[in-house]
Amino acid sequence: MSNSAQTLIRPPAIAGTFYPAAPDALTDMIDACMAGARDNGLSPKALIAPHAGYIYSGPIAASAYRTIVGRADKISRVVLLGPPHRVAVQKFCVPSVHAFRTPLGDVPIDPAGIAAALKVPRVEQSDIPHAEEHSLEIHLPFLQRVLGDFTLVPVLVGGPTPAETDALLKALWGGPETLILISSDLSHYHDYDAANRLDQDFRRHIETLSPEKIDDEQACGRFPVKGLLARAQALDLRVTTLDVRNSGDTGGRDNRDRVVGYGSWALEYASSARLSDDDRAMLIDGTRRSISNGLRTGRPAEVQHGSFSPALETYRATFVTLTLNKNLRGCVGSILPHRSLIADVAENGYKAAFGDPRFPKLTPEEAALMDVSVSILSHPRPVSFGSEAEAVDALQPDVDGVILQATDADGQTRRGLFLPQVWEQVPAADQFLRHLKAKAGLPQDHWDNSIRLWRYTTETFH
């Protein structure tokens, strides 16, 4: 190969240090990490995964890559964003080389993706920041092993705003053929307990799509992460935490004074996201157990955290609906996520049975005959409108759950919520909105500039 051709390929910078340089040893190490990763039945559009040496973060990264094994043949492009550690980048930087090399072969750069990125403000092109950077390269052998052939759009992310990163991701988002991958470790060089506290806080900010709450201590890749969360809000993505540990867990218990945190997350479109049948059954059973405990003790069942799947331990908002002979018998829920999914259904199931003011407390006889339905809510997104007619036109029958907030004649804030199932009883959007205003305690013909609407979707099962 000529020298000019060689300069078009970025050679591996961390082979032999962060991961084995020998192809067979590298393959064996990746396969061992993947063998220990759980199949969660997810179908993510985007992943967040760590970038330390494989001995430290390989198992955590593998939990992210395991989620794309089932659709590996459909992914032909990876948009990879990560932070620079050696050469400063102001906003964004893409390379000019034609491929990134690893011991497993060359990963071609997607020229169309680079061209699209360069049309976004504040994107520069230089190979210098990429030459020795590990945060992107570390993911490539895993991706090569899982996906086989694919093209790459590598972007180093300096200090942009979430809106700037959101704009870049929007330009590169693509369709099912494109995987978005954000590279980030978590807290750095705290003692084990302090790191766990910081990393669990970060986990909650990810799960609740709260980029504004992420601070400088929580993740080296916070800037691309914040941008991804902004995109997730806009596109109604749902987050599942896959694994959160630190080097004190993976590198041995003898060194817990200065640890680095690692985590992995999967982001799916909420409209198509689906829990596994086992997790669904666990939620229905947990709801019934909480109601049974309420009948015996007057309290919801306590949830023993750490014994459930990652999906059930993720913070999500739910509504629990109880019916008796197909008639509503109680319905209580959470609008925003503020505790684990399994804990939320336990609490809301108890309140639906014994705390819905529209009904008397559930009796043991009714509990034996009741049907239980659980709805998992996506993150509410604001609905834009300039008039009541525009609000009606903006609603999507049989799809949208809707939250309404307004100020009444006495200056009091009023709120009402309808699950998407309500469309079955009120299929016309104008009547749906009128009934929602009534549920909020407002006259059905009330309209003023204080009215705000949010939409969400649900995964509902019984």
Confidence of residue 386 (pLDDT cuts 50, 70, 90): very high
pLDDT of residue 257: 86
Q: Measured between alpha carbons, how far is 363 from 354 in angstroms, rounded to an integer? A: 9
Q: Are residues 255 and 395 in the same domain?
A: no
DSSP characters for 55-103? HHHHHHHHHHHGGGGGGGGG--EEEEEE--SSS--SSEEE---SEEEET
Confidence of residue 255 (pLDDT cuts 50, 70, 90): confident
Q: Are residues 134 and 206 in the same domain?
A: yes
Q: Are residues 321 and 419 in the same domain?
A: no
Q: Are residues 48 and 80 in the same domain?
A: yes
Task: For residue 368, give both structure tokens.
Answer: 């034996």
Query: CB-based contacts of 147: which residues, under 8 Å, 6+ apart?
Result: 68, 72, 75, 78
Q: Are residues 301 and 178 in the same domain?
A: no
Q: Are residues 149 and 255 in the same domain?
A: yes
- Tell me the per-residue pLDDT of 94-148, one tens digit each, with 9 for 90 and over: 999 999 999 999 999 999 999 999 999 999 999 999 999 999 999 999 999 999 9
One-letter amino acid identity for 4?
S
Name the pTM for this structure. Answer: 0.92
Q: Are residues 429 and 346 in the same domain?
A: no
Q: Are residues 349 and 385 in the same domain?
A: no
One-letter amino acid identity for 253?
R
Residue 449 · residue 377 · CB < 8 Å:
no
Q: Measured between alpha carbons, how far is 368 from 253 in angstroms, rounded to an integer? A: 49
Choose one of 252, 269, 286: the last residue of a domain.
269
Report the domain count for the chain: 3
Choose one of 269, 298, 329: the last residue of a domain.
269
Task: For residue 319, give both structure tokens.
Answer: 């509504």
Q: Are residues 207 and 297 in the same domain?
A: no
Buried-state track 383-403, b at ≥16 Cβ within 10 A, e below 16 = bebeebeebbeebeeeebbbb
- Tell me the per-residue pLDDT of 400-416, one tens digit each, with 9 for 90 and over: 999 999 999 899 999 99
Q: Tell me which of 214-223, 258-267, 441-450 is least confident.
A: 214-223
Domain of 168, CATH number, reads: 3.40.830.10
- Tell me the per-residue pLDDT of 13-27, one tens digit each, with 9 for 90 and over: 999 999 999 999 999
Which whole-number Å values give the CA distances from 101 to 97, 104, 109, 126, in the listed order? 11, 8, 11, 17
Give bridge partners of residue 261 from the DSSP assignment: 246
Domain of 411, CATH number, reads: 3.30.1490.150
Q: Are residues 204 and 126 in the same domain?
A: yes
Choose one of 348, 377, 406: the last residue of a domain.
377
| Residue span of the structural domain in which 95 resides | 3-269
Domain of 314, CATH number, reads: 3.30.700.20
Q: Are residues 91 and 156 in the same domain?
A: yes
Q: Are residues 132 and 252 in the same domain?
A: yes
